[in-house]
Amino acid sequence: MNTKNTAIILVDHGSRRKESNQLLLEVVEAYRQHADWQIVEPAHMELAEPSIATAFARCVERGAEQVVVFPYFLGPGRHWKHDIPALSAKASKACGNVEFRVTDPLGLHKLILQVIDQRIAAKICDFGGAI
């Protein structure tokens, strides 16, 4: 896949809470630093900007010919199965039918288990215990 003309959109649910929306911006910035993709944009499914449509348009303005939408969700619920694909399709159509794909959510991945272990270990240490 060509990293020059492929854009990545990381999309979360969106919140009325500023700090919740800020977290997505931090995740996107960390991912930009980590990955080779030249176009990486944040989007909120609802309740906050940028929306999927706004992020999609930004990607196309920056030269994207195809877009991969990554739902920053733990599980495969209604938003992943229906809402995000529908919003992405609408955004694609508004941008000249740019090709897009929606990935699976985070789900059960072996690295998620390591993150769970780290979060638990941090709280065990709060008790003064050691692992």
Q: Is residue 1 part of a domain?
A: no
Q: Which range of residues forms the domain containing residue 34?
A: 6-126
Query: 101 pLDDT band (50/70/90 cuts)?
Result: very high
pLDDT of residue 110: 87
Determine whether 34 is an active site residue: no
> What residues does 100 pair with on adjacent strands?
67
Report the domain count for the chain.
1
Coil, strand, or helix at residue 37? Answer: coil
65: domain CATH number is 3.40.50.1400
Set 13, 44, 79, 82: catalytic member = 13
Q: Is the pLDDT of residue 84 over 80?
A: yes
Interval 47-59 mean pLDDT: 98
Averaged pLDDT, 28-55: 97
Residue 22 located in a structural domain: yes
Global pTM? 0.89
> What is the predicted pLDDT for the residue at 130?
59
Which whole number is the average pLDDT over 27-39? Answer: 96
Instruction: Name the strands in the sheet holding 99-102, side by side, starting at the edge strand that comes first in the sequence.
Output: 39-44, 6-12, 66-71, 99-102
